[in-house]
Amino acid sequence: MGADQFDLLKAIEKGEIHEVEVAWADHQGHPRGKRIPADVFVGRLEKGIAFADATLTWDHTADVLDGCRVSGWETGYPDFFVIPDVSTAKRLPWREGVAMVQGDVRDHHGELLKYAPRSVLKRVVERLAGLGYTASIGAEIEFYLVDENAQPISDGIHCYSLIKANEMEPTFSELLDGLRGFVDVEGSNVEYGPAQCEVNLNHGDPIWAADQAFRMKYGIREVARRHGVVATFMAKPFNVMSGCSMHLHVSLWKDGRNAFAPVDGSESEVARQAIGGMMEHLAGITLPGSPTVNSYKRFEAGSFAPTTATWSRDNRTCAIRSLIESENSTRVELRTGASDANPYWAIAGLLAAVCAGLESGADPGEVMSGNLYESGTPLPTTLEQSIAAFRADAVIREILGEDVCHDLCVLAEREWSAFITAVTQWDYDRYLRTV
């Protein structure tokens, strides 16, 4: 898990690092943090770095919302503290002598703050450990590269095309070079839209995988900005063009062996229960993996994004794709997640469904085949429907944590309300002269 080993404290002692970015993810996955002088950082390892807890009550535009349980005007929005996890430390490739470290959010008593996304994921990982398993997670994340006018920097649709990758040079190579040593990249390619790219991250422990996905999105944006390009992880930035996903690959391990390893060429019982849990709770975990109004505009038949609750083997029309390979490589891919998701929430939602399946002994039913856009129960098609499905899934809410699920719904409901009350160009074009 991670080829680049970096001893932050030793680098500070040797004078190689003069500043540390202490970072964490809010509910939207936005990188929050502070720039701390290295000598000050060393003295704050135990106490941590203070932030107002209002950061866990605001929306995409940083408007503070009433109704959240973590805090409110009645509490005065006190501090919490981000305790650096030095095992996450990486040199910032684009700022000489600067490192970045991620951390856990804790309260004044030193307890993990249950409302923070990284804490939510840790809670689910502990639940899974109580069932006797660890998980390995690998993320595939898509994004578009656009110019200052929000237009793709390359045209044409040629997925996997090396020629199209070359057309985006030197930007594409500089993006990937800018991630070197910062994230553990397995591979990259152009995708199914003009100037749409995908980066595949190596698999590992869920917390490590989420930290890595968080760093990848931060790094891609910043390196792109330094080269005069905008990298957007918006799920559906263009009409009639491919949306952007965050596909998650999962396998469960016990005593050093893959519990998903195939049995007589088919899914193991553990894999079937995990898939069963995902099938049963797919609507309920859509919100953590598709958290914005725009997320749902990528769910279209024939788009390679799923529209129904379905599972199959190596079939890109389904929502849950079982990949039966070698003993160690066999895994399951969840294809519903959007690239605009917070990776901590997306992975937590996936593993919550897996836990639910193991605990209930869920049965996914017979493996499906063919064009699965024509089969299965429809998935939520709007953020409003997804919020309702999340609220209705008591099992998932209990595993993730009732209070933080309440707050996630408050934030999502504000997004939906802002959307349905906004008068857009579409309204003018359609109605101004016709009604």
| Stretch (H or E) spanning 20 | strand 19-25
pLDDT classification of 383: cutoffs 50, 70, 90: very high
Q: Number of H helices and number of E strands within the chain?
A: 13, 17
Instruction: Using the predicted structure, report yes or no on whether residue 3 has a pLDDT greater than 50.
Output: no
At residue 88, the pLDDT reads 96
Whether 92 contacts 21, CB under 8 Å: yes
Spatial CB neighbours of 414, under 8 Å, sequence gap ≥ 6? 59, 63, 65
Q: For the chain, what is the mean pLDDT?
A: 95
Buried/exposed 279-294: b ≥16 CB within 10 Å, e otherwise: bbbbbbbbbbbbbbbb
Question: What mean pLDDT is predicted for residues 117-141?
Answer: 98
CA 396 – CA 392 distance, rounded (Å): 9
pLDDT classification of 285: cutoffs 50, 70, 90: very high
Residues of the chain with pLDDT > 90: what percent?
Answer: 92
CA 219 – CA 98 distance, rounded (Å): 14
Domains of the chain: 8-110 (3.10.20.70), 123-420 (3.30.590.10)
Q: What is the DSSP letter of 405?
A: H
**For 334-382, what is each residue's pLDDT tens digit?**
999 999 999 999 999 999 999 999 999 999 999 999 999 989 999 999 9
Whether 258 contacts 250, CB under 8 Å: no
Whether 255 contacts 341, CB under 8 Å: no
Alpha carbons within 13 angstroms on the beta-carbon side of residue 163 total 4
Whether 279 contacts 311, CB under 8 Å: yes
At residue 4, the pLDDT reads 59
At residue 157, the pLDDT reads 85
CA 129 – CA 126 distance, rounded (Å): 5
The residue written with tokens 């605001």 in the block is 58
- Reduced to 3 states (helix: H, G, I; strand: E, B; else coil), residue 356 is helix
**Which residues on adjacent β-strands are paired with residue 378?**
308
- Reduced to 3 states (helix: H, G, I; strand: E, B; else coil), residue 103 is strand
Whether 88 contacts 9, CB under 8 Å: no
Residue 58 phi, psi dihedral angles, 5° rounding: -110, 165
Residue 204 CB: number of other CB atoms within 10 A?
17
The residue written with tokens 């900005």 in the block is 225
C-alpha gyration radius of the chain: 21
- Reduced to 3 states (helix: H, G, I; strand: E, B; else coil), residue 251 is strand
State how far the alpha carbon of 106 is from the alpha carbons of 42, 52, 126, 282, 316, in Å: 18, 12, 17, 31, 41
What residue ranges in 94-163 does DSSP mark as E strands?
98-106, 134-146
The secondary structure of 186-241 as a DSSP string is: EEEEE-SSTTEEEEEEPPB-HHHHHHHHHHHHHHHHHHHHHTT-EEE--S--STTS
Residue 303 phi, psi dihedral angles, 5° rounding: -105, 0
Whether 256 contacts 174, CB under 8 Å: no
Between residues 255 and 1, the one the model is more confident about? 255
CA 87 – CA 41 distance, rounded (Å): 15
Instruction: Using the predicted structure, report yes or no on whether residue 81 has a pLDDT greater than 70.
Output: yes
Instruction: Using the predicted structure, report yes or no on whether residue 97 has a pLDDT greater than 90.
Output: yes
Residue 308 phi, psi dihedral angles, 5° rounding: -135, 160
Question: What mean pLDDT is predicted for residues 289-305?
Answer: 94
CA 79 – CA 301 distance, rounded (Å): 46
Question: What mean pLDDT is predicted for residues 311-336?
Answer: 96
The residue written with tokens 């309702």 in the block is 388
Residues of the chain with pLDDT > 70: what percent?
Answer: 99
State how far the alpha carbon of 224 is from the alpha carbons of 200, 234, 296, 387, 398, in Å: 18, 15, 26, 33, 40
Whether 338 contacts 243, CB under 8 Å: yes
Question: What mean pLDDT is predicted for residues 422-433?
Answer: 94
